[in-house]
Amino acid sequence: MKQQRQLAVSAYTPADGFIRRYQKLVKDVVIPYQYEVLNDRAPGAEKSHVVQNYINAGKVLRGEDGGDGFYGMVFQDSDAAKWLEAVAYSLEIFPDEELERKADELIGLIEAAQDADGYLDTYFTIKDREKRWQNLTEGHELYCSGHMMEAAVAYYEATGKRKLLDVMLRNAEHIYRHFIGEGRDGCPGHPEVELALLKLYRATGERHCLELAQYFLDRRGQDPKLFAKEAKRRDWTVWGSDGEDVEYAQMYAPVRRQSDAVGHSVRAVYLYTAMADLASETGDEELLAACRRLWESITRRRMYVTGGIGSTVHGEAFTVDYDLPNDTVYAETCASIGLMYFASRMLEIAPDGEYADVMERAFYNTVLAGMQLDGKRFFYVNPLEVVPGISGVAVTHRHDLPQRPAWYACACCPPNVARTLSSIGRYAYGISADTAYCHLYAAGEVDFGDGFVVSCETGYPYDFTVRYRVKSGVKRLAVRIPGWSRTYCILKNGQECRTEPARGYVYLENMTEGDEIMLVLDGRPQFVYPSARIAADTGRVAVQRGPLVYCLEGVDNDGDVLSLSLDADAEITVGEKISGLPKDVVPLRLKGFRTAPGEELYTMQRPQRTACEITAVPYYVWGNRGENQMRVWVPCQV
């Protein structure tokens, strides 16, 4: 079923430009900073204790005193896993002996924290080994295993070292024995291990990993009350969950019968990613049909213009169709990362520009917005409207912060951003038996295999010319034409190609050494109009240029964006560089009006308004110049 596949991270070598700068930031700042956090040495950051948890777990297994015990969330181990995965990808781009040594040292601690039977989880090893596998609803044992499996595969592929891979193969075999060998009925409360097991299967050929992934997917929703029954069998809990909310954990129906994206948004897209991956691996058409329904549910009725998903803080979840509030939104960074994963797996099954468009939207907007430009502060939640004094303060808005914190007690998002940025090449490019695919525009050199090597030159996402040059080999090349580009021009060796796109891709036959392709996309800014079904956006418009959604910040607009409205009939122009932002950031200038706020809460007097010029900046850079108002959807005067 799989029509094309992701390339290995090592197949893409970034060139100077937007992507490489971010990957260099991850290598030079984010990974070292997060290492200090994991070791509780980062000034001003919340205590992590991740490394010490592994040390203490090792002591417990050796019969020694467990030190100061376990500290953190039940899934604290996953922070170490995602850090190691980011390190692995970074080492493939920027070899670093000292960083590799630190990773090896941490892997040694992880190995020492693995029980003799293959079990690995510091929370239960330290706190109470007798409670293992009793709380699938909340315990996150399988979730932590999944992230460590992903790290193990990435580190093995990057370095050739098997220590962590062997640790996680033993762990996978332990899980297999428990659930399949011993007949334990269950599935993860938080999906993740399913997609990780499929990665482990492809890396090692171990069939038990494939069988276990399929078992967990097949069991989900067969008994919607599974978690509720589990809760009644024990007299302890982590967060007080009783398992009765069958939508929260995507348990409302077997996966092949699910149609609506519901519940915790990160759990949902991790689950759907695994479903799509298994469908492509086994040719399961019924599972694929469910994936397509769920994809449409998200992208056509439950996704923000920024690629954010998850409308409510209650359960960090999807709600219902077209319920997309801007100031109380959740839109967790990890959820948009998971949406990228889902899009990438669907893209492997059917090369369709729709999937790449969503992957790009999520990446350039919500995922990048999740990290401060200096790489040291992070958003968990990504609002589309912020008002200091309300956002982060009012009981309804406490989760929507006006500034990125340095770290979190629940720190799933920061290392998730790091691993995604470091591995972006695998999402940008793909390969089939006869075609090399360019899904995203990332400057650098790409080795598609079979001797076919292509270089890409571009200043994207601020420049809209992309040049591909075949350095060696012969193959068909597929270049994506994004849905947002109203016009485009593609030239082969200086001659315009008249080839029409097929499902969002132009296919260029028999590309050979020395051939050059130049793609020119439409870089004109444009207004984005919402569906009339989205109540929160009635009478509003957003602004987009290329893949970048823009927002208004108070710092650029006399401190107040709430009184502004846009003239949708006026031309949008490109502005000059703005102080305090990277030099390549392109602001936009718009025409509009400012309404006098008035002194009374309500009045019968018609508000006074004056014409004004309005400045917009890319959404991903907001919140980098101090606390101020921000708005994506702006009232519109037509």
Give me the active site residues, please: 316, 412
The Cα–Cα gap between 581 and 373 comes to 9
- How many CB atoms lie under 10 A from the CB of residue 448? 22
The Cα–Cα gap between 477 and 493 comes to 14
The one-letter amino acid code at 551 reads C
Query: Within 13 Å, how many C-alpha atoms sit on residue 193's CB side?
Result: 27
Backbone angles phi, psi at 210, to 5 degrees: -65, -45
The Cα–Cα gap between 573 and 567 comes to 13
For residue 502, give the DSSP letter. Answer: B
Closest CA to 320 of 330, 328, 310, 329: 310
List the end-to-end C-alpha distance of the chain, in Å, as a whole number: 48
For residue 365, give the DSSP letter. Answer: I
The Cα–Cα gap between 11 and 574 comes to 35
Closest CA to 209 of 180, 188, 252, 247: 180
The dihedral built from the CA positions of residue 36, 37, 41 and 42, taken in this order, carries a sign that is positive
Residues contacting residue 156 through CB under 8 Å, at least 6 positions apart: 162, 164, 165, 203
Beta bridge partners of 595: 609
Tokens found for residue 41: 């040495």
Residues contacting residue 456 through CB under 8 Å, at least 6 positions apart: 15, 438, 441, 442, 443, 444, 445, 446, 466, 467, 468
The one-letter amino acid code at 477 reads L
The Cα–Cα gap between 268 and 221 comes to 13
Rg of the chain on CA atoms, in Å:
25
Closest CA to 15 of 597, 467, 413: 467
Angle, in degrees to the nearest 10, between helices 207-219 and 265-282: 130
**How distant, in Å, are the alpha carbons of 88, 144, 502 from that of 113?**
21, 13, 52
For residue 315, give the DSSP letter. Answer: T
CB 121 within 8 A of CB 455: no
Task: Show the beta-strand stretches assigned E in 390-497.
Answer: 429-431, 435-438, 444-447, 453-458, 465-472, 474-480, 488-492, 495-496
